[in-house]
Amino acid sequence: MRHFMFALSTLMAGYALSGAAAAQSLTGNVGSAGISPGDRSVEARAGMDEEGNLASRIHYDQALNGWYQVRVIAAFERPDAGDTEFSGLTVENWFQWSEESNDGTGFNGGLRFAYTRSEDGEADEAAIRLTLTDKFASGWEWRANLIAESQTGGGREEGVGLETRVQLSRAIDLNWFGTRDWRLGAEMFSEYGNADDIPGLKDQAHQAGPVLKAEWDNGIYLQTALRAGVTDGADSWMGKVFIGKAF
């Protein structure tokens, strides 16, 4: 019950604080903190908003030990249903500083440091993310991310952008498409704006909606979600699909 109440409070806090902003991430995830030695994966993501703007990216992940993992991301965008263009290359460094015990007590906690080299004269971006994850109560899981971003290089905007992402999901008893490993839940993405001058709630960018995940024994995994804007500063809606394979 303690875990459930904490997860519910986290989700509701994200809603209460949330609603900035520029267009929200079409390919973002509520990331986990867990790292296992030797893990490798590749993943493709795509997302689209109500105006037909399409974003996609390709990941490669490699865990070098039980507490450090590196991710390389190539990102692409197709604004206004135009041509698809390469938009940037990101290197992310993951560190896990806390792990659940074998008896299920505690939680997974980690930090990520990312740097994106942008194209077409756009400012580069540096980001730090705190990630928390906990599985509890017969298949439930909560995730929470706190993200701070700043631009670097020529043409940068001053200040730090603040963002939170929260997700609550549960294992469901389904046997579809050759797997019983399905999860259904809800997530909220909240962008508060520049820390130097955070706008009022209605002008912040907050979106919420359902998320569905699946994993197969051969390492393939899938995630799909829809989010709708709940504040004036948010995009009206977006949809995303991720597919990957762990080795």
Q: Any idea what the CATH number is for the domain that residue 20 is in?
A: 2.40.160.40
Does the pLDDT value for residue 144 go beyond 60? yes
The SS3 call for residue 210 is: strand
> What's the domain range around 38?
2-246
Helix (H) / strand (E) containing 129:
strand 124-136
The pairs formed by 129-135 with CB atoms below 8 angstroms and a separation of 24 or more are: 129/31, 131/31, 131/32, 131/33, 132/33, 132/107, 132/108, 133/32, 133/33, 133/34, 133/107, 133/108, 133/109, 134/3, 134/6, 134/7, 134/100, 134/106, 134/107, 134/108, 135/100, 135/104
Alpha-carbon torsion, ordered 168, 173, 176, 179, to 10 deg = 80
CA distance 98 to 65: 14
Mean pLDDT of all residues in 27-51: 95
- Amino acid residing at 1: M
Does the pLDDT value for residue 5 go beyond 50? no
The SS3 call for residue 12 is: helix
Mean pLDDT of all residues in 47-53: 93
| Overall domain count for the chain | 1
Reported as a pLDDT band with limits 50, 70 and 90, residue 15 is very low
CA distance 167 to 145: 9
What is the pTM assigned to this prediction? Answer: 0.86
Higher-confidence residue of 196 and 138: namely 196
Q: What is the reported pLDDT for 77?
A: 94
Classify residue 19 by burial, with Cβ atoms within 10 Å: 0-12, 13-18, 19+: buried
Strand partners, 40: 62
CB 133 within 8 A of CB 145: no
Q: What is the reported pLDDT for 23?
A: 55
CA distance 95 to 108: 11
Higher-confidence residue of 197 and 214: namely 214
- Amino acid residing at 246: A
Does the pLDDT value for residue 156 go beyond 90? no
